Structure 1
Amino acid sequence: MSIRNPKGILIPIGGNEDKGIEKHEIYTLEFIEEGILAHVLKAAGGKDACVVVIPTASSIPVEVGENYIQAFSTLGCKNVHILDIRSREDSETPEAIALIKKANCVMFSGGDQSRIIKFIENSTIHDIMVERFIKESNFVISGTSAGAMAMSFEMIAGGNPKDGFTKGATIMRKGLGLLPEVVIDTHFIRRGRFGRTAEAVAKFPNLLGIGLAEDTGLIIKNANECTVIGSGMVIIFDGSTLAHNNEKILEDGTPMTMTNLTVHVLSNGDQYNIKERQVKVLPLEAPFI
């Protein structure tokens, strides 16, 4: 299904968002009420919203589901459902279809993004999500880590950061197609993924590369208007101005050359327009949101 001018909201997250349960301060904001999941819940309609968590990407889906139930409960939301999909057949059950039809927010967990594609892409619940995303302005699809990466049409499926900037180091697959104009990478700062996102942009210079730090996300409206949320940074790679890009002529394992790649470093409250490729930053005195 082609996605043009969708009305819904996407909220990709870089991973390790504050769930109000982590003990290490690097993974938490001062209060979960000020964090990313609070933004997700607000966009979905507030405490009475129906939230469906899909932990398909995770190798420990039961534990992950319990964490999200606890996190959203801390925010006052009790209408949280775990849709534990572990096969394509699970994506076609009447129960799964009914949950996706009534959800105000669908939340994909972290893990392995290829599992999301394997079990959900082109399924009935995928078709319902896309249709609702196109038509409904208050329908939210969120995803953290793997769940964020799976949103794009061209999806990063893997790649070792140590081999970054060499041809073939970044593995690409087709994603869920919700954001056809971008490629998303996550855990971006902590795991040193600058090179693999740069290679993804070299492969597809017409697409934007978006690198999300941990506990950091974007609220994306109409698949275009982006606002940064969370405690870290969002790195934007714009290859539309590349003066030299030798990716197509190189053999795998060869160091790449890219010149005039435009890179933006954005933080909480900053905005980006995907179609116009324009940045709008907050004044220095603006408050944290």
Structure 2
Amino acid sequence: MKRNKGTLIPIGGNEDKGVVEDDFNKLDYIEEGILSHVVREAGGVEAKIVVIPTASRIPKEVGNNYIDAFETLGCKHVTVLNIRSKQDSENPEFITAVKAANCVMFSGGDQSKITDRIGGSSIHNILINRYKNEKGFVIAGTSAGAMAMAQEMIAGGSATESFVKGAVNMYKGLSLIPELIIDTHFIQRGRFGRVSEAVAKFPDKIGIGLAEDTGLIIKHGIVEVIGSGMVIIFDPRKLKHNNERILKVGTPMSLTNLKVHVLANGDRFNIKKKKVKVLPVESPFI
């Protein structure tokens, strides 16, 4: 299978934007913060960065926050595209901006809005084509923007009804990374159960749970953890018992032999080989 040449950076939400007063458990914003990784992967401070706050209820405020955050890092070319309809995804001015961008960044909010307003459009097709064929092209997304990267996308669901069939709602995403199912705010909102159900529904996928201020750099099939929190990987390939298909909605589920990895900054995961490489115990990150 031909490898994609571009880079994906899904983020678990609430990433440091350089304005947090309490920096406990935060990485240095300029050197190690998630958005600094985004800038470096896109080519540095001269990169053209396009922010798409389609998922947000307050797109203007969110767009301005990202402009400020990227300008703090020294970026000089940051544009916000306020795509609010499928028609906007065919806007020639917006299309030109996406074609010229080194990085496209999707904000948080409601991931279904991203797929409803951008999925199947000219902008969606450009993103897929550039990600497949252009080395150095970056697509980043936080929270909803990260979840929308998947083919089988978590659209919502109750964390309090974990491990009950129907607790997770699935929807079609942008299919940038079909091998993964991504959930965000994972630790803070207790979403272990809904990723478990998601991989029970689609046992050929790898589940990813991203904590806040935590992300992944995905290049050439290799996933590297960045940020201050944890990433939980759900590998269902050797499930021995999975009763998801036969249960009625609302019934407690059972899964056996679901492999789970807990990774942190600098750890890696090979998507194809499904192998983990963690930093040695004496690493300064630990």
Q: CA deviation at 1:24?
A: 4.0
Q: Deviations over 1:174-220 (max 9, x none)?
A: 00000111100000000000000000000001100000000000000
Match of 1:90 in 2: 88
1:100 is paired with a residue whose SS is: helix
1:163 is paired with a residue whose SS is: coil
Separation in 2 of the partners of 1:90 and 1:23? 37
Q: Tell me, yes or no, if the aligned pair for 2:29 and 2:36 is still in contact at 8 Å.
A: no
Q: Tell me, yes or no, if the aligned pair for 1:17 and 1:27 is still in contact at 8 Å.
A: no
Q: Tell me, yes or no, if the aligned pair for 1:10 and 1:141 is still in contact at 8 Å.
A: yes
Of residues 211, 214, 221, the one that matches 2:212 is 214
1:68 is paired with a residue whose SS is: helix
Of residues 271, 276, 279, the one that matches 2:268 is 271
Confirm or deny that 1:163 pairs with 2:194.
no
Match of 1:38 in 2: 36
AA paired with 1:20? Answer: G
Q: Deviations over 1:240-279 (max 9, x none)?
A: 0111000000000000000000000000000000110000
Separation in 1 of the partners of 2:282 and 2:25? 25
Structure 1 window deviating more from structure 2 (31-40 vs 156-165): it is 31-40
Match of 2:225 in 1: 228
Match of 2:188 in 1: 190
Separation in 1 of the partners of 2:257 and 2:285? 32
Match of 2:112 in 1: 114
Q: Tell me, yes or no, if the aligned pair for 2:231 and 2:264 is still in contact at 8 Å.
A: yes
Q: 1:25 to 1:175 in 2, by over 3 A?
A: same
Q: CA deviation at 1:78?
A: 1.2
Separation in 1 of the partners of 2:147 and 2:216? 12
2:31 is paired with a residue whose SS is: helix
Q: CA deviation at 1:164?
A: 1.0
Match of 1:178 in 2: 176
Q: CA deviation at 1:285?
A: 2.0
Q: Deviations over 1:136-159 (max 9, x none)?
A: 011000000000000000000000
AA paired with 2:124? Answer: H
Separation in 2 of the partners of 1:238 and 1:31? 32
Match of 1:15 in 2: 13
Match of 2:101 in 1: 103
Q: Tell me, yes or no, if the aligned pair for 1:113 and 1:149 is still in contact at 8 Å.
A: yes
Match of 2:78 in 1: 80
AA paired with 2:261? Answer: H
Please, what is the CA RMSD of the aligned residues? 1.3
Match of 1:137 in 2: 135
Separation in 2 of the partners of 1:160 and 1:23? 32
Query: Pairwise mapping of residues 237-256 of structure 1 onto structure 2 (< 5 A)?
Result: 237-256=234-253
1:285 is paired with a residue whose SS is: coil
AA paired with 1:39? Answer: H
Q: Deviations over 1:75-102 (max 9, x none)?
A: 0001000011001111101111000000
Separation in 2 of the partners of 1:70 and 1:100? 20
Q: Deviations over 1:212-236 (max 9, x none)?
A: 00000000002x1000000000000
Q: CA deviation at 1:166?
A: 0.5
TM-score by length of 2: 0.97
TM-score by length of 1: 0.96
Of residues 254, 268, 274, the one that matches 1:257 is 254
Aligned length: 286
Identify unmatched segments of 5+ residues in structure 1: none
Match of 1:286 in 2: 283
AA paired with 1:135? Answer: N
Separation in 1 of the partners of 2:28 and 2:234? 30
Separation in 1 of the partners of 2:29 and 2:47? 21
Which 4+ runs in 1 deviate beyond 6 A?
none
1:20 is paired with a residue whose SS is: coil
Query: Pairwise mapping of residues 142-153 of structure 1 onto structure 2 (< 5 A)?
Result: 142-153=140-151
